[in-house]
Structures are given as C-alpha cells and as structure tokens.
C-alpha cells in the first residue's frame, strides 16, 4: 500500500472543481477569485461513498425485488408528491434555499405532523431550546421527535445508528464537520465528506435522510455544486423572502419527475400547503392595471395560472435597461427583438422590466406570449381584460408556436373563470374545451390585432 503523502491542490469554492495550480478564474464555472488552497493527503484513498452490497455478486436484474413499502409518507401531500410519492427509504434528499426561506421550519413541521415516524432531528445551527420554541409555535405532536444538537459527523452517525429512527434530518450541511478531514466546517472538502458520510449511512441503514443546505447568492446549493450529484434528490426553495409564498421545486430526483413544484404560504404557525397554486399567482389587484398578462402554464403535470408583470418606460440614461426577475433575460431580449423586427415596435429606447408573480422562476416556453402581452400592454398603457390568458411560444420569425397539453391549460383557465385564451393557430385540440373561447393567433401582428382591436 502506498504511504500517505500530502500535496497542495486548489479548489474552486463555487463549483468544487480541483486544480493543481492557482487560477484567477475557474475554467469550469467561470467564476473569478474563487480558488482556495488546500492540502490533501494522497496515497491513502478515503473510502468512497458506495451503496450497500457493493462487492456482492452480479445478479439478474429481473431477480431484484422492489416493494411498494420502499417509500415513506412524510405526512405532507405536497412534499410527498414532489418526492414522487413519499421519501424513498435509504435515500439522501438535499433541501436547499436561501437563509430564512423556511427550510428549518418545513423540516421540523414534517415530523411534528407525522408522529408515527420516529425522527432524529440534528441541529447544528440552533440550540435545542430554539428548536423547542419553534416546535411550540408550529404545534403538532412532538412525542416521537428527538432533537440532537451536534456538529461532529462521527457522533451523529453513532447516535443515528443506536437510535435507528425512521427519518434523519440534518440542519445544515454547512455547520457539520467530519473530524477526519482537516478543514473548517462549511469548506468544500467538509461539505463533500459530510454528504458522503450521510449517503453511506442512508444506503447502509435504509433510513431516509433529509440534509439542509444554504444556497449562495448565485443560487447554487451549498456554494459548491458538488452536492447535487452526490445526493439522490434535490429540493430547492424559491421565492421572495419578504413575500408570504414559497415555492419548493424538485430540481433533481432519481425516483421521480423533476418538473414538479409545491407552493407554501408562510403563516404565523408555519408553512401552509397551497393546493391550488393559481390562488397565489393570479392577479391580486382590481381590474384596470396595464402591464400585466396571465399565463396558463404547466408545472410537471399540473396546469396553473399566474401573472406576468412588465413595465416599459423611456430610458432615462443613454442605454436602455432590461431586467427580468424569474425569467431568462436573454429570452426577454430575444422577444423584444422579435417585437421590433417582426412587428415594428420600437422598444430600443425603452427600459423594460419584467417580473414573474410570486417570485417564481419560469422556464416553460408557453410563457412567451404572456410576456409579449404584458410588454405591449405596458407600452400602450392598455389594460388586458382580466378574463384573458395566454399560452404560446414565440419563434424568431414572430410565429406563435403551439405548446404541450394546450387543452389541459385551457380547461384549468376555464375552471378559474377565464373567458378567453390566446393560443397558436397550429394548436391541436382533441376536444374543444368548454366555457372558454380559443383565440387562435398565427403571429405577433395577429396577436396585436386580436388584442387591441
Ligand atoms: P427558517 O425556517 O429558520 O429558515 P431557514 O431554515 O431556511 O433559514 O425561517 C423562516 C422564516 O419564517 C423566519 O424568518 C421566521 C419565519 N417564520 C414564520 O413566519 N412563521 C413560523 O411559524 C415560523 C416557524 C417561522
Ligand atoms: Mg434554518
């Protein structure tokens, strides 16, 4: 066996990539000034995180048995759905989000709401007393929830082994440390090791683990993106801290879909599940406001409606500003270029600000049409009637393209009282949705004619 030697390497503190020499800019993630120097021991490899049974003989795939009990319900319909029908035994779930968004609240609320599960809640951030105060505020049944204030991973694994809970929650990855690794808690190598230790524990014991991780301002979990490929599931909290609504999105799921999201409202007694997300996302003002348009969007399999807000004003300083919250600013620029070239709207000298209601981040291309609607509405100071919504993608030549599952979007819009939905002329409907008029538009000039006639 090779003897242990040490050498110096450089880690990018943003993405976790390792280099042999220092660089000003990380070639992998493109961030500047993120290199940190670190001494590592070589020659003696640490045990890699591996699934139990590694080293056993290969077996035919058809003989591997899976049973329905492999999942455990966490008692929250929305969280269970997000996970694909409960948490999978032996899985490691990372719950990320900015500080103060509600990660600790949700992870404490789950065991309190489901006392059938024996839970070990490890807190490295708050004292046992603080957790107790929070639990009192949340209500629920705390009889089967053990609180453990510890940051040493060896001790945590030892306790978890002896307690053998149904669920282990670790709050947070940044505060924990493995005594075998010589760097401070929260550093890249510690975060990697802590996650690897928990993964080994989860796979070995079959106990599901929820690991909480803070997100940096760039939006990457735990700073280093490294955690995302170690864990089985990544759930991420989004939303404005100031607002009451928070969106929990699954951005990676080895056991289910990743396009799901769940909406919660922060109340005086914890997070409330919002079963109908349209409730938070559709207009919260009286009719008669220009610059808003409602999009019928789809998250995973669930259609819902939400409001797009735009503000178009003359640029005060030389160059026009473009800013988008919750929407890709490059896509906004592209849509504005299409409006200029294909429909003759001169927006080059205008500032354009775009905002998605509820702090939601939107990637559904069906939102394009509502963005165009909101921009034009603000530009002309014309109010789009409140019973009109949109679902269409916009192409570079100004054509309006059909979107997936248009009829389900239209049905949901009709259910919420919308009277008209703007869709692409090329949309195919198997059956015409009842109670809502389909306004079919082929391109932007047709949209403008239909909207402002
Ligand atoms: P927290 O869950 O501690 O956030 P994180 O663990 O993600 O850092 O805190 C969420 C915020 O919510 C905090 O500012 C206090 C507030 N809050 C409520 O409004 N109602 C409640 O019942 C609780 C427990 C917290
Ligand atoms: Mg917390």
* Helix residue spans in 216-281 (DSSP H): 226-230, 278-281
Which protein residues have a CB closer than 5 Å to ligand 2 (ion)?
A: 104
* Ligand 1 and 269: CB distance under 6 A: yes
Minimal-distance CA residue to ligand 1 atom 23: 270
Q: What is the pLDDT of residue 225?
A: 65
Least-confidence region, from 120-129, 304-313, 316-325:
316-325
* Ligand 1 and 242: CB distance under 6 A: no
**How confident is residue 51, by pLDDT bands cut at 50, 70 and 90?**
low
* Ligand 1 and 107: CB distance under 6 A: no
* Ligand 1 and 179: CB distance under 6 A: no
* Ligand 1 and 86: CB distance under 6 A: no
**How confident is residue 2, by pLDDT bands cut at 50, 70 and 90?**
very low
Buried b (16+ CB within 10 A) or exposed e, 33-69: ebbeebebeeeeeeeebeeeeeeeeeeeeeeeeeeee
What separation in Å is there between the alpha carbon of 12 and the centre of ligand 1? Answer: 31
Beta-bridged to residue 34, according to DSSP, are: none
Residue 196 has pLDDT above 80, yes or no: yes
Question: Residue 453 has which token pair?
Answer: 């006639």
Per-residue pLDDT, averaged over 182-198, amounts to 88
Ligand 1, atom nearest to 98 Cα: 7
Ligand 1, atom nearest to 125 Cα: 6
Per-residue pLDDT, averaged over 266-274, amounts to 90
The 92-97 sheet, strands edge to edge: 145-149, 119-123, 167-171, 209-214, 92-97, 233-238, 245-253, 261-267, 270-274
Residue 281 has pLDDT above 70, yes or no: no
Residue 453 has pLDDT above 90, yes or no: no
Ligand 1, atom nearest to 97 Cα: 7
| Local structure of 298: helix, strand or coil | strand
Percentage, residues of the chain above pLDDT 70? 88
What separation in Å is there between the alpha carbon of 104 and the centre of ligand 2? Answer: 4
CATH of domain 71-275: 3.40.50.300
- Mutate which of 98, 100, 107 for ligand 1 pocket (most atoms within 8 A of beta carbon): 100
**How confident is residue 1, by pLDDT bands cut at 50, 70 and 90?**
very low
Per-residue pLDDT, averaged over 274-297, amounts to 77
Least-confidence region, from 27-41, 263-277, 439-453:
27-41
Ligand 1, atom nearest to 101 Cα: 7
Q: Identify which of 413, 430, 431 has the alpha carbon closest to the alpha carbon of residue 422.
A: 413
* Ligand 1 and 246: CB distance under 6 A: no
Residue 32 has pLDDT above 70, yes or no: yes
For the chain, the average pLDDT equals 86
Between 324 and 63, name the one with better pLDDT.
324
Q: Which ligand is nearest to the CA of 174?
A: 2
Q: What is the pLDDT of residue 34?
A: 79
Ligand 1, atom nearest to 270 Cα: 22
* Ligand 1 and 140: CB distance under 6 A: no
Q: Is the dihedral of CA 34, 35, 41, 46 positive or negative?
A: positive
Between 259 and 444, name the one with better pLDDT.
444
Q: Which ligand is nearest to the CA of 239?
A: 1
Q: Which ligand is nearest to the CA of 107?
A: 1
Q: Is residue 339 classed exposed, middle or buried when 0-12, 13-18 and 19+ CB atoms within 10 A define those classes? A: buried
Q: Which ligand is nearest to the CA of 123?
A: 2
Distance CA 165, CA 120 (A): 6
Cα three-residue angle 446-450-452, rounded to 5 degrees:
115
Residue 36: in which H helix or E strand, if any? strand 35-42
pLDDT in tens, 53-97: 555 678 888 877 766 558 999 999 999 989 989 999 999 999 988
* Ligand 1 and 433: CB distance under 6 A: no
pLDDT in tens, 90-102: 999 999 888 888 9
What separation in Å is there between the alpha carbon of 135 and the centre of ligand 1? Answer: 11
Minimal-distance CA residue to ligand 1 atom 21: 270
* Ligand 1 and 100: CB distance under 6 A: yes
Distant-in-sequence, close-in-space partners of 140: CB < 8 Å, separation ≥ 6: 109, 112, 113, 115
* Ligand 1 and 270: CB distance under 6 A: yes
Beta-bridged to residue 440, according to DSSP, are: 423
pLDDT in tens, 236-254: 888 766 677 888 888 888 8
What separation in Å is there between the alpha carbon of 171 and the centre of ligand 2? Answer: 7
Between 335 and 44, name the one with better pLDDT.
335
Q: Model pTM?
A: 0.75
Longest dimension (CA), the chain: 81
Least-confidence region, from 16-20, 52-56, 377-381, 404-408:
52-56
Residue 231 has pLDDT above 60, yes or no: yes
What separation in Å is there between the alpha carbon of 113 and the centre of ligand 1? Answer: 17
User: Is the preceding peptide bond at 172 cis, omega within 30 degrees of 0?
Assistant: yes
Q: Which ligand is nearest to the CA of 102?
A: 1
**How confident is residue 257, by pLDDT bands cut at 50, 70 and 90?**
confident
Minimal-distance CA residue to ligand 1 atom 1: 102
Ligand 1, atom nearest to 269 Cα: 22
Q: Which CATH architecture has domain 280-451?
A: 2-Layer Sandwich (3.30)
| Local structure of 285: helix, strand or coil | coil
**How confident is residue 143, by pLDDT bands cut at 50, 70 and 90?**
very high
Per-residue pLDDT, averaged over 359-383, amounts to 91
């Amino acid at each position: 066996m090779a003897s242990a030697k040490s050498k110096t390497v450089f880690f990018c503190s943003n993405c976790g990539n390792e280099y042999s020499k220092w660089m000003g800019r990380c070639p992998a993630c493109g961030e500047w000034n993120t290199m940190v120097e670190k001494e590592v021991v070589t020659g003696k490899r640490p045990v890699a995180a591996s699934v139990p049974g590694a080293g056993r003989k290969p077996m035919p795939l058809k003989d591997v048995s899976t049973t329905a009990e492999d999942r455990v319900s966490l008692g929250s319909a929305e969280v269970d759905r997000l996970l694909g029908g409960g948490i999978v035994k032996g899985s490691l779930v990372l719950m990320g989000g900015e500080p103060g968004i509600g990660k600790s609240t949700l992870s404490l609320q789950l065991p309190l709401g489901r006392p059938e599960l024996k839970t070990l809640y490890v807190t490295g951030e708050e004292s046992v007393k603080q957790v107790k105060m929070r639990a009192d505020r949340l209500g629920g049944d705390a009889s089967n929830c053990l609180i453990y204030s510890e940051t040493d991973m060896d001790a945590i694994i030892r306790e978890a082994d002896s307690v053998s809970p149904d669920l282990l929650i670790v709050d947070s990855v940044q505060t924990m440390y493995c005594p075998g690794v010589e760097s401070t808690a929260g550093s890249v190598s510690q975060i990697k090791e802590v996650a690897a230790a928990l993964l080994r524990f989860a796979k070995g014991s079959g106990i599901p683990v929820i690991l909480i991780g803070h997100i940096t301002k760039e939006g990457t979990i735990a700073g280093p993106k490294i955690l995302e490929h170690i864990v089985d599931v990544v759930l991420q909290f989004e939303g404005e801290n100031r607002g009451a609504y928070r969106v929990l999105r699954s951005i990676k799921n080895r056991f289910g879909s990743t396009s799901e999201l769940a909406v919660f409202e922060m109340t005086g007694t914890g997070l409330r599940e919002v079963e109908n997300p349209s409730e938070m996302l559709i207009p919260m003002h009286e009719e008669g406001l220009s610059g808003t348009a409602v999009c019928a969007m789809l998250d995973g399999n669930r259609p819902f409606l939400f409001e797009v807000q735009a503000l178009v004003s003359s640029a005060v300083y030389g160059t026009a500003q473009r800013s988008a919250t919750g929407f890709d600013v490059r896509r906004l620029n592209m849509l504005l270029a299409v409006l200029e070239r294909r429909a003759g709207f001169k927006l080059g000298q205008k500032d354009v600000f775009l905002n998605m209601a509820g702090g939601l981040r939107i990637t559904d291309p069906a939102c394009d049409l509502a963005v165009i609607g909101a921009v034009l509405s603000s530009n002309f100071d014309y109010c789009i009637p409140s019973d009109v919504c949109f679902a269409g993608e916009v192409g570079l030549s100004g054509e309006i393209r059909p979107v997936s599952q248009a009829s389900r979007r239209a049905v949901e819009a009709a259910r919420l009282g919308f009277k008209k939905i703007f869709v692409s002329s090329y949309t195919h409907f198997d059956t015409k949705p009842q109670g809502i008029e389909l306004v079919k538009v082929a391109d932007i000039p047709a949209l403008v004619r239909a909207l402002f006639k």
